[in-house]
Structure 1
């Protein structure tokens, strides 16, 4: 490959507004929000699908590797280039906008570069929303590539469960456009090919648009921050909330004392919900799209449920406006970043094993990695845990790269081998998790991927995630 020749062809195809070559202008695209920082040959920003298809044909002919990128909010480096200076970042940010909304079918069709906030802004006048709840504002393509979940997965499922159809560009043959599914809710006519493009970080093709399931906007919401008598009592509360509220249970989040304390340290304008802070708290939310009325008042039902459990499972509770309590929850990640060097874990175990896992994981860190402080929180409703650690500046000399890697491996071994959990519950694989994928994925599964992935990308030109 001639980098100079490739740049000349890309310039001719995309023009000055579609190609970024200056180092300073490339930087925001080359650095991920947490991991991933490399150097790209350039950033290609096609204006439409036809330009993106031609770009893929050009790169295939020149042997140039492409790194698909949406809003660049991912946390495993899947959208970041390596250090070679030879990869092209394919940014979908200009291929954006809502194509169509069908309130009767309850769907929204949008281009891949469309942001989550734009989806919900377009849906709101129709009384609808796309209910993936995240701290970031990703693009449609990025959400599909990572199979995003979020805090309300217990009610609405992940992106995979809310995708009816999508369109993607293939690398083999280069630039071919593949339509998979449509806005039908029922379509059992063979393999569901779109699933190959969801959760695979753009390694099978580049999503250009999607048809997504929309949901009615909640008209009633009731939220409480609850202190359980124990973590086991918290599981009983979860089980009972699902039995009592069924689909009205929207979220069931866990927040440790350290995580709450970090928020209060770095957001002094936020009042402490408890004094003293409990060892663990649960953020519980119920919601409904039905209007409150004489025969159905969700707030009253929720209050009655809380009062009923004060005798057995609840020690204390704060009932407040949903936005107030969710502000505490959504502020955790940014607050913990200010505590020191972050060692983050996006993991999941069976819900029934969450208390035992947490106890054993805390003991492991205290015993073998003293100096690393745990600020854990996460999605108890679906078994997801952000078991994040922060190493204060004074302790960082005790944690060279080798010891941090030993910490990661020890904790992942506990999650996967002892608790049969996942080392990546939401964030995906990407370069950051690639060697853990190799460590924990069954050989038969990798062998199958080794046969399938080359069908879509025989020359390994697409993305930076390998499933073989």
Structure 2
């Protein structure tokens, strides 16, 4: 079968209305949102049900055509992009946007893979509940993509990542069979936890079509502070101070370098510096509680007072209302977009033990400056769980192409340093295409062997999102 035969096959499977074959119509499915990754496809198919997904996968399996599952196309590693051959089929879940049920007693929500994350948050809130996953792309990323990449975000410190928030899955396997694992059980000790095979697999083992997710009681009070810090060590110390005093009420702890904040102040309308003095690092600290009047402002202020006494914090402001809370979070969440105005952005999503963060930052910064003097290092992230977005911008005034040409060398500096601290080169963005081959140098060979064995078991022809996650053998 040639690529030209594929549209006719899919048309028979799901009908004309669910198929896109013209180049203009396929365009947004074949280039990622950053224009960093692009590909070609024989067709884009948009099934509207799990049964239709299964029919598409079966038809492609029979024809020997590879399937590339795609959610909101907001990924950062090229995991949902087809290759350049024009023979692969992009299977978009963007029509599967039904919330099948919300259960405030069991504290669960069942959503299809194409449901946008914000819609899940809103459906939970309508029932007096909280779905705690929160990302900068939550208005466009989908639950299927969140599951495929094991998304993290700002609430991992308290609630865990997507793997921790998942109770059950519905998955179309590479041979077209449907595994109905949509169980809402908190305890099920009947053998292997199969759902965990598919969370974080980036569509290489099957197509997630729906999930049962955990909900929590709604948050009714918050306290948020912006804290100036002298160093990454001070950030780690501050976590200890606040956690010891506040326990699980500590639900957010973000750290940002001054370089990160400078970019936001320069490029984000309305952003302003909160302190008269410039500080090398900042933290955004948030407490939350289910009680409407939990006294969190006083609790946070007590923690900050102790931090001042220990010379951990240099300055701080506690937000006085929802508008100021939003302004503080805008400083944090605007970093990635603001960096784009400064030219090419080399993004790295790494994790090391929290206690190792100060030494990691010091060593990696020094190595990068040696590799490229004047490089601007944009470090920020979820320091409470050891996850740093360690992004790089070119030296001011330098050439874009020359900087891009150094991407591999600079990535090796970051990854080698990460590995030396027993860290991971991907904390929450996945491997996709961008880290597929390099992971072989940083992951134990036996782990890769086991991963390949699982892939061969479930997808012997290798037609499910090929060229992602697993390095070439």
* TM-score class normalised by the smaller sequence: over 0.9
Alpha-carbon distance between aligned partners in 1 of 2:52 and 2:12, rounded to the nearest angstrom:
11
Q: Structure 2 stretches of 5 or more lacking a match?
A: none
Greater shift, 399-408 or 79-88, is seen at: 399-408
**Map of 1:39 onto structure 2:** 40
**Map of 2:315 onto structure 1:** 316
TM-score of the aligned structures, taking structure 1 as reference length: 0.96
State the 1:375 CA deviation: 1.2
Residue 202 of structure 2 contacts residue 469 of structure 2 at CA under 8 Å; is this kept in 1? no
**Map of 1:459 onto structure 2:** 461
**Map of 1:349 onto structure 2:** 352
Alpha-carbon distance between aligned partners in 2 of 1:388 and 1:400, rounded to the nearest angstrom:
13
Secondary structure of 1:54's match? helix
Alpha-carbon distance between aligned partners in 2 of 1:401 and 1:150, rounded to the nearest angstrom:
27
Secondary structure of 1:84's match? coil
State the 1:467 CA deviation: 2.9
Residue 4 of structure 2 contacts residue 42 of structure 2 at CA under 8 Å; is this kept in 1? no
TM-score of the aligned structures, taking structure 2 as reference length: 0.95
State the 1:291 CA deviation: 1.5
Residue 119 of structure 1 contacts residue 129 of structure 1 at CA under 8 Å; is this kept in 2? no
**Map of 1:91 onto structure 2:** 92
Alpha-carbon distance between aligned partners in 2 of 1:443 and 1:223, rounded to the nearest angstrom:
44
Q: How does 1:42-53 map to 2 (within 5 A)?
A: 42-53=43-54
Cα deviation 1:357-381 (Å, max 9, x = unaligned): 1111111111111242111111110
Residue from 136, 149, 156 that aligns with 2:152: 149
Q: State yes or no: 1:276 paired with 2:277.
A: yes
**Map of 2:12 onto structure 1:** 12
Secondary structure of 1:431's match? coil
Alpha-carbon distance between aligned partners in 1 of 2:403 and 2:123, rounded to the nearest angstrom:
48
Secondary structure of 2:101's match? strand
**Map of 1:364 onto structure 2:** 367
Provide closer, same or farther for how the CA distance between residues 227 and 466 of structure 1 changes in structure 2, counting only shifts above 3 A.
closer
Provide closer, same or farther for how the CA distance between residues 462 and 393 of structure 1 changes in structure 2, counting only shifts above 3 A.
farther
Secondary structure of 1:89's match? strand
Residue 339 of structure 1 contacts residue 392 of structure 1 at CA under 8 Å; is this kept in 2? no
Provide closer, same or farther for how the CA distance between residues 397 and 55 of structure 1 changes in structure 2, counting only shifts above 3 A.
closer
State the 1:396 CA deviation: 2.2
Alpha-carbon distance between aligned partners in 1 of 2:269 and 2:356, rounded to the nearest angstrom:
35
Task: Report the count of equivalent residues.
Answer: 462
Q: How does 1:61-210 map to 2 (within 5 A)?
A: 61-137=62-138, 138-171=141-174, 174-180=175-181, 182-210=183-211
Residue 2 of structure 1 contacts residue 62 of structure 1 at CA under 8 Å; is this kept in 2? no
Alpha-carbon distance between aligned partners in 2 of 1:119 and 1:447, rounded to the nearest angstrom:
36
**Map of 1:445 onto structure 2:** 447
Cα deviation 1:374-421 (Å, max 9, x = unaligned): 1111111000001111125731267255422111112211111x1111
Alpha-carbon distance between aligned partners in 1 of 2:24 and 2:395, rounded to the nearest angstrom:
31
Alpha-carbon distance between aligned partners in 2 of 1:160 and 1:384, rounded to the nearest angstrom:
16
Secondary structure of 2:177's match? strand
Secondary structure of 1:430's match? coil
Q: Structure 1 stretches of 5 or more lacking a match?
A: none
